[in-house]
Amino acid sequence: MNSAALVPQPFVYDGDVYERNMRHATGNSLQVILKVTERCNIACKYCYFFFGGDESYRDNPAYIQDETIDQFAVFLEDAVRSYHLDLVRIIIHGGEPFMLRKARMARLLESVQRAAAGTALEFTVQTNAMLLDAEWIDLLARHRVYVGVSLDGPREFNDLNRVDKRERGTYDRSLQGVALLFEAFRAGRLARPGLLCVLNPDFPAERLYHHFVDEIGFRNIDFLLPDDTHDSSDPALRERYKVRMMELLRLYARETRKEVRFRFADKIVDALGMAPLFSRVLHRYFTQKEIVFTVSSKGDIAPDDILRTTDPALMRLDLNIATARLGDVLRSAAFNRLHDAAFTLPGACAGCDWASVCRGGELYHRYSRAQGFDNPSIYCDTLRAAHEHAATMFLQAGASVAHLERRMAAQPYTLI
Ligand code: SF4
C-alpha cells in the first residue's frame, strides 16, 4: 500500500460561495459550544480554558446574562430558518456550567427550544458533576439534556490534577454527582452519562478502563490526547502517550459488551470503512455542512473552543450574536483560514500511508507558531500505530484487503 504519489494541494475557501451553498442546501447542522459560565469551581492543572494562554475570558461576564440568552435565541431562530438547519446541537460549556443559577439555565433551555422549533435539537452539558443535585436532575430530565462527565481516573489518579482552588482532590464530590446521574439513568429519566478523560501517560490503562467501564458503568467513553500544540508539547512524552493509547485500544479490541464505545477508536474504524469515493467527495461535502463555533458568555462568536491553544488571533472574529447573523460567521476571515487549513494536508504528511484516513490528525495538534497548521500531528506516531491497529482489526472482522488499499490510496481533500 503506497500513497507516495499524494501531493498536498493548498485548499482555498471562498466564504461567499460557501455561504451561498449553505443557504441553498438542505441537511445542514449547527453545533454551538455555548459558554454559559466563564468561571469554574475547580482548577484542573491542565485546563486549556483557564491556563491555555488565551485570557480573554477575564473580560467576559462570569455568567451568561438573560439579555444574551434572548439574543442567542434570536440568532438561532434566524439561522435555523435561513440555512434550513436539520440539526442543532448545543454544547452547554464552561467553566463549570452548573455554577449558573437554575432559573437562568431553565430560561436558556426553554428559549433555545422555542428558537429551534421544528428542527432536531440536542443538548449536551460537559461537567465535573460536583454541583449536581436533585433539582438539577429534574431540569436536565425535563429538557432531555445529555450529560458528559470529565474525570481522569480513580481517586488516586484523578486527584493529582483535578483539584479545587484549595488544591484538594475532587473525585469524591464528582462521584456523588455521577451517582445521581446513574440513578436517573436507571429510572429512565436521563440517558446514561458519557465520560471524557484526558490521558495521562503515568496512569495505567487497564486500571483506567476497568474503573470507568466496570466499577462506575460508563459505556460512551472518550479518552483524549492532551490538546497541546508543537509549541507546548513535550516531545519526550509522546512515546509514552502512544504506549498508553495503544494499551487502551487493545483493551477495547477485547471488549465484548457492544454498548461500550470508545470514540477515538470508532472514529478511525469509521474512516477506514468509508468507501473511497465517499472519502474523496462526500466527506468534504458533509463536513462543510457541519458548522461549529463557540459563543462566549457575552455573546462573542469564535471558532471551536479547542483551538484556543493555537493562534489567539483566530479566536477574535469581532462578531457578536447581538448583531451578527450566521452568514457573517461563514464569511469571516478566521473561518476561511481554518477551513483552508482543515482541507489542506500538511506537507510533511505527503507520502504517509494513512494520509487519506488520518488527514494530519486534529487541527490543534498540528499547530506551531512558526508554521501555522502545516505540520503533522504532534501525536503522529500514536496515530500511525492506532491506524495500523485499526486496520488489523478491520481485516480480522472480514474487510477485504482490496477495500483498504483503495481507501488508503484515495486522495485526501480532493475536489472533483
Ligand atoms: S499525522 Fe502522521 S499518521 Fe497522520 S497523516 Fe500525517 S504523517 Fe500520517
Selection from 302, 257, 304, 322 nearest residue 56 by Cα: 302
Which helix H or strand E contains 319, and what residues bound it? strand 319-320
User: Most distant CA pair in the chain: distance in Å?
Assistant: 59
CA of 346 to the centre of ligand 1 (A): 9
How far apart, in Å, are the Cα atoms of 6 and each of 19, 334, 347, 413? 30, 27, 10, 11
pTM for this one? 0.90
Give the number of the atom of ligand 1 that is nearest the alpha carbon of residue 377. Answer: 1
Give dist(CA 330, CA 115) in Å, integer. 20
Ligand 1 touching residue 376 (CB < 6 A): yes
Give the pLDDT confidence score for residue 415 in this predicted structure.
Answer: 40
C-alpha gyration radius of the chain: 21
CA of 274 to the centre of ligand 1 (A): 18
Substitution site in 368, 380, 411 for ligand 1 pocket (most atoms within 8 Å of beta carbon): 380
Count of CB atoms situated within 10 Å of the CB of 193: 24
Give the number of the atom of ligand 1 that is nearest the alpha carbon of residue 352. Answer: 8
- Are 355 and 9 in contact by the 8 Å Cβ rule? The answer is no
Give the number of the atom of ligand 1 that is nearest the alpha carbon of residue 379. Answer: 1
The C-alpha cell of 28 is what? 445542514
CA of 384 to the centre of ligand 1 (A): 7
CA of 342 to the centre of ligand 1 (A): 14
Ligand 1 touching residue 380 (CB < 6 A): yes
Selection from 387, 337, 388 nearest residue 367 by Cα: 337
Give the pLDDT confidence score for residue 176 in this predicted structure.
Answer: 98
Give the pLDDT confidence score for residue 9 in this predicted structure.
Answer: 60
Selection from 270, 233, 196 nearest residue 376 by Cα: 233
Give dist(CA 289, CA 416) in Å, integer. 17
CA of 3 to the centre of ligand 1 (A): 12
Selection from 190, 169, 185 nearest residue 217 by Cα: 185
Give dist(CA 298, CA 320) in Å, integer. 8
CA of 260 to the centre of ligand 1 (A): 27
- Are 123 and 106 in contact by the 8 Å Cβ rule? The answer is no
Lookup result for grid cell 486496520: 391
Give dist(CA 283, CA 289) in Å, integer. 10
User: Measuring from atom 2 of ligand 1, which residue has the nearest CA?
Assistant: 380
Ligand 1 touching residue 384 (CB < 6 A): yes
Ligand 1 touching residue 212 (CB < 6 A): no
Which helix H or strand E contains 171, and what residues bound it? helix 171-186
Selection from 199, 183, 297, 296 nearest residue 245 by Cα: 199
Give the number of the atom of ligand 1 that is nearest the alpha carbon of residue 355. Answer: 5
Amino acid sitting at position 179: A
Which helix H or strand E contains 178, and what residues bound it? helix 171-186
- Please give the span between the terminal C-alpha atoms of the chain, in angstroms, as a whole number: 23
Q: Across the chain, how many H-helices and E-strands are there?
A: 18, 10
Ligand 1 touching residue 130 (CB < 6 A): no
Residue 129 is classified by DSSP as -
Edge-to-edge strand ranges of the sheet holding 319-320: 261-262, 220-224, 194-198, 145-150, 120-127, 85-93, 28-35, 290-295, 300-302, 319-320
- Residues 120-172: pLDDT tens digits? 999 999 999 999 999 999 999 999 999 999 999 999 999 999 999 999 999 99
Give the pLDDT confidence score for residue 326 in this predicted structure.
Answer: 95
Give the pLDDT confidence score for residue 1 in this predicted structure.
Answer: 45
CA of 407 to the centre of ligand 1 (A): 15
Low-confidence ranges of the chain (pLDDT < 70): 1-13, 48-57, 276-289, 411-416
CA of 372 to the centre of ligand 1 (A): 16
